[in-house]
Amino acid sequence: MPLLSAEPAAFPAEPPADTHDPAVTAAHDWAAFSALDEMTDHWARPGWADGSRAYYWMLTFPDDQRLATLVRHCQQDLEPLGLDPVPTDGLHITLARVGKPDTVTSDQLNSLARDAEALLTSAFSVRAMPLAGSRGAVRLSLGPWEPLLRLHHALAEAGAGVGLAPKKPTSAFRPHLSLAYNNRRRPAGPVVEAVSGLRTLPAVELAVSSAQLVELRREGRTYCWDVRKNVPLG
């Protein structure tokens, strides 16, 4: 398993000291978020304009009512900030970008899904909570990171085998689950303060038994997707 490494483009840039302990990864997320001076516009992403599409590996939770309840609670308290809330049926953990529909063939997708199924790790669960954030979003910390890192590594290995290696290696992967996107440049202080009041809510346990290969698209200030392959974990 490749070790995590420092990556200036990732958030947090430095990896946590322990990827097995949820308390360590959560504290590490919060330290990075609470140190921010400014938040950036999540939607000002080069090459990802409204209507853009790409294939991604994700974990999705469309039927998890405990997660939806937690997220709605947080979103309602954060509403005065004017963030763009993630619809509860759109909650996801982004794993890895595969490529664009105009460059990835259906044969490659089929081969990728088949090879991934042979490499994927066993089913596992992770805790979502407490709340933290990044430069462009408010998001739930996840823990432990270790099974998510192993999953990412397996997907990256499968992608490399069919010429679709992800741009970001596992060493730069920082697992998280966003619940609201920041839509303008602003001082981070008021957002950090609002988030801090929600950090004592109970965690939600997320069961991960499959990975979804999706065609993701941006529609205005939200993300939608169609699942192309649902790959069970071993």
Residue 156 pLDDT > 60, yes or no?
Answer: yes
Domain assignment present for 9: no
User: What CATH number did the domain enclosing 104 receive?
Assistant: 3.90.1140.10
Q: Per DSSP, what are the bridge partners of residue 93?
A: 59
Q: What are the residues whose beta carbons fall under 8 Å from the beta carbon of 68, sequence distance 6 or more?
A: 88, 91
Mean pLDDT of the chain: 96
Structure tokens given for 220:
């205005």
Residue 77 pLDDT > 80, yes or no?
Answer: yes
Residue 105 pLDDT > 70, yes or no?
Answer: yes
Which structural domain range is residue 43 located in? 22-232
Number of folded domains in the chain?
1
Residue whose token pair is 């070790």: 3
Q: Per DSSP, what are the bridge partners of residue 218?
A: 223
Render pLDDT for 166-186 as a digit per residue (tens, 0 to 9): 889 999 999 999 999 999 999
Structure tokens given for 197:
């009041």
Domain assignment present for 151: yes
Share of the chain above pLDDT 90, in %: 94
Identify the pLDDT of residue 234: 76
Identify the pLDDT of residue 47: 83
Domain assignment present for 136: yes
Q: Which has the minimum average pLDDT: 2-6, 25-29, 144-148, 168-172?
A: 2-6
Mean pLDDT in residue range 121-132:
96
Mean pLDDT in residue range 95-110:
95
| HEC letters along the chain | CCCCCCCCCCCCCCCCCCCCCHHHHHHHHHHHHHCCCEECCCCCCCCCCCCCEEEEEEEECCCCHHHHHHHHHHHHHHHHHCCEECCHHHCEEEEEEEECCCCCCHHHHHHHHHHHHHHCCCCEEEEEEEEEECCCEEEEEEECCHHHHHHHHHHHHHHHHCCCCCCCCHHHCCCCEEEEECCCCEECHHHHHHHHCCCCCCCEEEEECEEEEEEEEECCCCEEEEEEEEEECC
Q: How many CA atoms lie within 13 A of 193 on its CB side?
A: 7
Domain assignment present for 45: yes
Share of the chain above pLDDT 70, in %: 99
Domain assignment present for 16: no
Structure tokens given for 84:
């763009």
Cα–Cα separations (whole angstroms), residue 2 to 5, 40, 231: 9, 30, 23
pLDDT confidence tier of residue 46, bands split at 50, 70 and 90: confident
Residue 1 pLDDT > 70, yes or no?
Answer: no
Identify the pLDDT of residue 45: 87
**Is the separation of the CB atoms in 98 and 54 below 8 Å?**
yes
pLDDT confidence tier of residue 2, bands split at 50, 70 and 90: low
Residue 3 pLDDT > 80, yes or no?
Answer: no
Domain assignment present for 2: no
Domain assignment present for 3: no
Residue 39 pLDDT > 80, yes or no?
Answer: yes
Quote the CA–CA distance of 127 and 141 in Å, as a whole number.
8
Domain assignment present for 70: yes
Instruction: Give pTM, 2 decimals.
Output: 0.96
